[in-house]
């Protein structure tokens, strides 16, 4: 049940690298449900991803905040509040800085990344309640980014460039290492989303390299459906967890740059 928000961001990130689409005022809302053998499919969490545009002494930047929380009904059982923030240069569309603030029950974890694209390095810091702060410097490639920055990499891609079954890999920065994120495009499919209707979608099968402490089973294949239109937003996600499975699906949106033409009336 951990890392509900990061699960959505990681699965959405498992898509072909392309020019990123950041649109100020865009808000995406998701509901997260959990299902196990002795536990019916039940909504347990909510996720919000909001994009704004701001200015500082270094110029303009896009600020993207992703927040995931347990629904009030289940906070007595396991209270989750995860917040991820990335600052992206409006000209280069490269991330400048990334922060995470994770609170899950008695567990807390904070991390921050500072990107130096001139020297092609990233400086990372992280700490939890149980351990002192640690830090590391790693070499950057153009494909290396944090989970939220990767979340936007498909947004301007042309679906005509996808090839069914063709494998590809992205690189994701995680504190002291860079993990590989694999994906395969499976083709177009119509998908019904609870309380939202039926959509034309692009379907992907994805796999994250071995990690520790994340909500989906290490090395397990998971599936994502994104809108088959110019917005390319994640609509539905299925992921196994250690016991049962998680489904995350869009429950609302506003401020999209383009009409949601994938929605079938």
pLDDT of residue 13: 40
Round to whole Å and give the CA distance between 135 and 117: 18
Task: Label the pairing between strands 39-56 and 59-70.
Answer: antiparallel
The gap between the terminal CA atoms of the chain, to the nearest Å, is: 34
What is the value of pTM for the model shown? Answer: 0.83
Q: Of 20, 8, 72, 71, whose CA–CA distance to 250 is shortest? A: 8
Q: Which residue bears the tokens 């290492």?
A: 177
Average pLDDT over residues 111-140: 87
Average pLDDT over residues 19-46: 81
Between 162 and 235, the more confident residue is 235
pLDDT of residue 5: 53
DSSP tag of 74: G
Question: Which DSSP helix (H) or strand (E) runs through 220?
Answer: none
pLDDT in tens, 59-115: 899 888 888 888 888 877 778 888 888 888 888 878 888 888 888 788 888 889 888
Which tokens in the block code for residue 164? 């069914």
Domains detected in the chain: 4-254 (2.40.360)
**pLDDT band at residue 152, thresholds of 50, 70 and 90?**
low
């Amino acid at each position: 049940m951990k890392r509900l928000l990061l699960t959505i961001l990681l699965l959405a990130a498992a898509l072909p690298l392309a020019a990123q689409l950041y649109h100020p005022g865009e808000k995406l809302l998701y509901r997260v449900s959990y299902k196990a053998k002795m536990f019916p499919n039940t909504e347990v969490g909510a996720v919000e991803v909001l994009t704004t545009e701001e200015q500082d002494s270094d110029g303009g930047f896009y600020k993207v905040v992703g927040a995931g929380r347990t629904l009030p009904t289940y906070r007595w059982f396991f209270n989750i509040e995860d917040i991820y923030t990335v600052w992206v240069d409006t000209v280069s569309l490269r991330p400048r800085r990334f922060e995470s603030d994770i609170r899950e029950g008695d567990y807390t974890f904070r991390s921050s990344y500072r990107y130096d694209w001139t020297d092609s390095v990233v400086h990372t810091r992280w700490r939890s309640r149980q351990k002192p702060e640690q830090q590391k410097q790693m070499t950057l490639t153009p494909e290396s980014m944090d989970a939220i920055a990767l979340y936007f990499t498909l947004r301007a891609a042309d679906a005509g460039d996808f090839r069914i079954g063709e494998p590809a890999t992205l690189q994701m920065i995680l504190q002291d290492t860079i993990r590989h994120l694999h994906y395969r495009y499976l083709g177009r499919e119509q998908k019904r989303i609870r309380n939202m209707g039926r959509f034309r979608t692009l379907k992907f099968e994805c796999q994250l390299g071995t990690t520790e402490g994340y909500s989906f089973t290490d090395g397990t294949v998971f599936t994502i459906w994104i809108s088959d239109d110019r917005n390319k937003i994640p609509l539905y996600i299925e992921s196994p967890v250690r016991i049962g499975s998680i489904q995350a699906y869009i429950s609302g949106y506003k401020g999209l740059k383009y009409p949601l033409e994938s929605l079938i009336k």
